[in-house]
Amino acid sequence: MKVLFVYPRFQRHADDHPELLDYVPLEEYLGSPSLGIACLAAVTPDDVEIEFRDDRLEDADRDTDADLVALSFFTPAATRALELADRFRARGKPVVAGGVFPTLNPEVVAPHVDAVVVGEGEPVWRQVLADARAGALRPRYDAPLADLAELPLPDLSVYFGVENEVFRPDDYPVQITRGCPMKCVACAIPGTMGRSMRAYPLEHVLGQIEQLARVGKCASFSEDTSWFPAGASRRLLDALVDHLLEQGQRAEISYIGVSMPMILATPVDRLRRAREAGVEMFYLVGGFDPVTRRAFTGEDPKAEDRAVRAMDRCREAGIEPYTSFLIGNDDDDEGTVDRMLEFAARVELRKAEFAVRTPYPGTPDWHRLSAEGRILTRDWQRYNDANVVFQPARMSPERLQQAYLDLWHGFYAGREELRQLSGRDARIQF
């Protein structure tokens, strides 16, 4: 039996707004796919042959001798994924879909595929393959949460196999936890991976890092919960840092995903130790949390001071705070652009990215805006943080779209000195 895994392409910021390339003096970096397919490949029986197509690199819509086509996608890729599903089925190939979008929207996906997997794939994947082999796929598989202590390392060789001269990411995600007990309105994690946090064993995380180091690649701790200030995630990260420092080792960690409240809740000493253990950069996601949401309304100077303090703390520890600003929250108005840019100047930010609030289907924000009749389109390829897909509270959709472009322009235009940066410093994933 043979399975063809496909990672469908999606529109990136510069695809939708090519003018960004004129004034953002950084290289556009195409990062690795989500870990989903590598996780499934790792639990695929040896007698099943695997082929992988990354549709971002080469059109995946080609004939195949596979017996089953398996699509993995999040919302920005859903339009393309459903198109690919239709095309492969027209060729007579059974199609199974999984990932963030199918998990949160199985009813949207079901008409295009033979089977939808809801939830984490590992617990049901062998059953899916057995059913496909028997020609008896079920329309829907509801997967229980995986036991992380039982999982093998993700099989990254499937991704390495499609690398070439133009696509050779120097970092790949390392997952340290799944699930989250918080209820941030824009986040898909609690709805897809459960409402409690499960941590991998330390050995598993070390294994993931070693697997990358062996081929000269860095680890990106991209998960939004990686720097959680308490609980399983915190204990695991502390154990990892202790282990590395005790062994006199450094891991190559390109970045850790984090938020400003998480930085403020962390003693500087812990930040410094993380730096010593190899953390180069924080990817500071804004707009989800109370500090960043209030910092740019202009009504709460204390929130802005707290945001400044968060940046200072990163710098004190020697960790670069690469910040993502999200515009379009209900309290954002015409003045938000200037306030964000003034903040960026005040803290002398070197690199930043800008995003439009996007109510991803299945998240609390989606349910609220749907109930308020504020969803403007269900064209999923526009759900990529670069387009306005909802009715903003205090601006027109057109004004919000322009505000997003003004932010990119205001921050980057004329900053030619950034062209002198090299390596990872010179790049941006947008």
Minimum CB–partner distance for residue 328 and ligand B12 (Å) = 12
Rounded to whole angstroms, the Cα distance separating 388 from 17 reads 13
Minimum CB–partner distance for residue 344 and ligand B12 (Å) = 17
Among 44, 175, 208, 401, binds ligand B12 (CB under 6 A): 175
Q: 125 or 322: whose CB is closer to ligand SF4?
A: 322
Site size toward ligand B12, by CB under 6 A = 44
Minimum CB–partner distance for residue 267 and ligand B12 (Å) = 25
Token readout for 388 is 């306005």
Binding part of the chain for ligand B12, among 8-16, 268-276, 337-345, 396-404 by CB under 6 A, reads: 8-16
Applying CB under 6 A, does 189 fall inside the site for ligand B12? yes
Binding part of the chain for ligand B12, among 42-50, 66-74, 232-240, 398-406 by CB under 6 A, reads: 66-74
Nearest CA to 131 out of 191, 210, 67, 77 is that of: 67
Which does residue 173 bind out of ligand SF4, ligand B12, none, counting CB within 5 to 8 angstroms by kind?
ligand B12
Applying CB under 6 A, does 125 fall inside the site for ligand B12? yes
Q: 74 or 390: whose CB is closer to ligand B12?
A: 74
Which residues of this protein are in contact with ligand SF4, per CB under 6 A? 180, 182, 184, 187, 189-190, 224-225, 288
Q: 146 or 317: whose CB is closer to ligand B12?
A: 146
DSSP for residue 289: S
Q: Give me the residue whose beta carbon is nearest to ligand B12.
A: 98
Binding part of the chain for ligand B12, among 48-56, 68-76, 232-240, 248-256 by CB under 6 A, reads: 68-76
Which does residue 288 bind out of ligand SF4, ligand B12, none, counting CB within 5 to 8 angstroms by kind?
ligand SF4
Nearest CA to 289 out of 267, 264, 315, 316 is that of: 264
Query: 234-241 contacts: CB < 8 A, separation 24 or more?
Result: 235/199, 236/176, 236/177, 236/199, 236/200, 236/202, 236/205, 237/176, 237/274, 238/270, 239/202, 240/176, 240/202, 240/205, 240/206, 240/277, 241/273, 241/274, 241/276, 241/277
Applying CB under 6 A, does 190 fall inside the site for ligand B12? no
Which does residue 72 bind out of ligand B12, ligand SF4, none, counting CB within 5 to 8 angstroms by kind?
ligand B12
Which does residue 114 bind out of ligand SF4, ligand B12, none, counting CB within 5 to 8 angstroms by kind?
none
Among 120, 280, 320, 332, binds ligand B12 (CB under 6 A): 120
Q: How far apart are the first and last CA of the chain?
A: 37
Question: Between the CA of residue 398 and those of 356, 401, 403, what are the distances in Å?
Answer: 12, 5, 9
Rounded to whole angstroms, the Cα distance separating 348 from 323 reads 11
Applying CB under 6 A, does 224 fall inside the site for ligand B12? yes
Which does residue 225 bind out of ligand B12, ligand SF4, none, counting CB within 5 to 8 angstroms by kind?
ligand SF4
Residue recorded with tokens 């390495």 = 160
Which residues lie closer than 8 Å to 201 by C-beta, 6 or more apart? 148, 149
Torsion angle (degrees, nearest 10) of CA 268, 270, 274, 276: 80
Which residues lie closer than 8 Å to 148 by C-beta, 6 or more apart? 178, 198, 199, 200, 201, 204
Q: 44 or 225: whose CB is closer to ligand SF4?
A: 225
Which does residue 101 bind out of ligand SF4, ligand B12, none, counting CB within 5 to 8 angstroms by kind?
ligand B12
Restricting to residues 315-374, name those near ligand B12 by CB under 6 A.
355, 360
Token readout for 258 is 């984090």
Indicate the length of the chain as a whole number.
Answer: 430
Nearest CA to 388 out of 429, 362, 411, 359 is that of: 359
For Cα atoms 164, 9, 1, give the angle at the middle one, nearest 5 degrees. 75
Q: Across the strands, what pairs with 255?
A: 220
Minimum CB–partner distance for residue 75 and ligand B12 (Å) = 3
Restricting to residues 72-101, name those near ligand B12 by CB under 6 A.
72, 74-76, 96-101
Among 44, 233, 384, 401, binds ligand B12 (CB under 6 A): 384
Torsion angle (degrees, nearest 10) of CA 148, 149, 150, 154: 60
Among 44, 79, 222, 336, binds ligand B12 (CB under 6 A): 222
Nearest CA to 109 out of 95, 91, 88 is that of: 95
Minimum CB–partner distance for residue 336 and ligand SF4 (Å) = 20
| Residues that bind ligand B12 in the complex, under the rule CB under 6 A | 10-13, 31, 33-36, 39-40, 70, 72, 74-76, 96-101, 103-104, 117, 120-122, 125, 146, 173, 175, 187-189, 222-224, 355, 360, 384-386, 429
